[in-house]
Structure 1
Amino acid sequence: MPAPIEEEPLVRLERWTGPWPDDDPDANFKAEVADYSRLDPMATIRGLSRTTAIPEGALVRYVLARFATTGSGGLLELGPATIHRLWEPIAAAEQAGTDEARLEAYRRLSAMVSWLRVPLQEPSLYPGADAAETRSDR
C-alpha cells in the first residue's frame, strides 16, 4: 500500500517591520526582512509562471527550498571538518572577548578562505573556464 500523500503546507506571505530591540543579535537580519517586506515578490513569481508555464506554487517552493538549503549546500561542499575548522578561531575570539583575539581570528579565517579560493583564482585548474570569471574578487 503506497504511503499517504501529505498535504502541502499553506503559507501566508506577510509584511513584517519589527520592532526589535537595539541590542538584538539578529537586528541586521531583521532589518533586512523589514526592508524586503516592502516588495511584492509575487509580481516576479507571476511573470515567471506565465513565461515558463510552471505553477506559481511550484516556483515559490523552488525559491524557498533553494534559499533555505544554501547553508546545507555549503556544508556538503566544504564538509563538517572544514566548517568546524573555520568556526574555531571565531569561538576562541569570542571567548577571549578582545579586539586582538578578533583580529587574530580574522587573520586565521582570511588564510583559510584564501586557501579555499585557490581553485577559483587559478584558471589552469579548470581548463576552458573564463579567466575573468575565475579571477574575480567577488
Structure 2
Amino acid sequence: MTQEPYMTESSEATQITLERYDWSPDESDKDANFKHQVATYTLADPMPTIRRMSRNLGIPVGCIARYILVKWAASGSDALLLAGPVVVKQMAEVVDQAESVGTDEEKLAAYEKLSHIVSWLRVPLDDPEWRPGVSKKSDV
C-alpha cells in the first residue's frame, strides 16, 4: 500500500474521546488564557454540527473532524502567510521594544505604531477598489 505524499503520519484510524476540560482559573499560569478557552469551548458538543455537515455534504464524519483539527492547527501558519513574515517581524519588534523598556509611555507608543500597521493592512479590506500603485487622487 502506497502512502499519499501529503500524509506524514500513519493513515490508520485514530480514535479520540471528546472530553470536557474542567479548569480552575490560575492567572499565574502562562497558559491561563488558552486553558480558559479550552474549558469554555469544551462545554459544547460539536458532534451535532459535524454530523449535520457530514450528512449535508456527503463527507464522512471523521473527514470533517480531521479537516477541522488540521485547519485549526495550521491557522497560525495561515495567518503568517496572509500577513507576511516582514509585517509579522515588524509587529514583533514593536512589541519587543515596548516590553524591553517596560514603561507605560513605551507601551502606548507601541500601540500607536501597531495601530498604524493594522491601518495599513486594512486598506484593501476597507477599499475593495484599491490596487497597488493606483491612486484615486487626481494628479493636478
Q: Which TM-score applies when normalising by structure 1?
A: 0.80
Is the 2:22–2:39 Cα contact (8 Å) retained in structure 1?
A: yes
Unaligned 5+ runs, structure 2 = 132-140
Note if 1:79 corresponds to 2:79.
no
> What secondary structure sits across from 1:123 in the alignment?
coil
Larger proportion of helix:
1
**Structure-2 separation of matches of 1:81 and 1:34:** 34
Q: Report the structure number with the largest CA radius of gyration.
A: 2
**Structure-2 separation of matches of 1:69 and 1:44:** 21
**Structure-1 separation of matches of 2:122 and 2:3:** 45
Is the 2:123–2:130 Cα contact (8 Å) retained in structure 1?
A: no
**Residue number in structure 2 paired with 1:41:** 46
* 1:25-80 CA-partner distances (Å, limit 9, x unpaired): 32222111111111101111111112222110000011111122121111112222
**Residue number in structure 1 paired with 2:134:** none
Match of 1:28 among 27, 30, 33: 33
The RMSD of aligned alpha carbons is: 2.1
Note if 1:107 corresponds to 2:134.
no
AA matched with 1:57: G
Note if 1:63 corresponds to 2:68.
yes
Q: Which TM-score applies when normalising by structure 2?
A: 0.79
> What secondary structure sits across from 1:9 in the alignment?
coil
The count of aligned residue pairs is 126
**Residue number in structure 1 paired with 2:138:** none
Structure 1 residue 11: Cα displacement: 2.4
**Moved >6 Å (runs of 4+):** none
**Structure-2 separation of matches of 1:98 and 1:9:** 49
AA matched with 2:92: W
Structure 1 residue 85: Cα displacement: 0.7
Q: Structure 1 87/47 Cα, relative in aligned 2: closer, same or farther at 3 Å?
A: same
Structure 1 residue 106: Cα displacement: 0.4
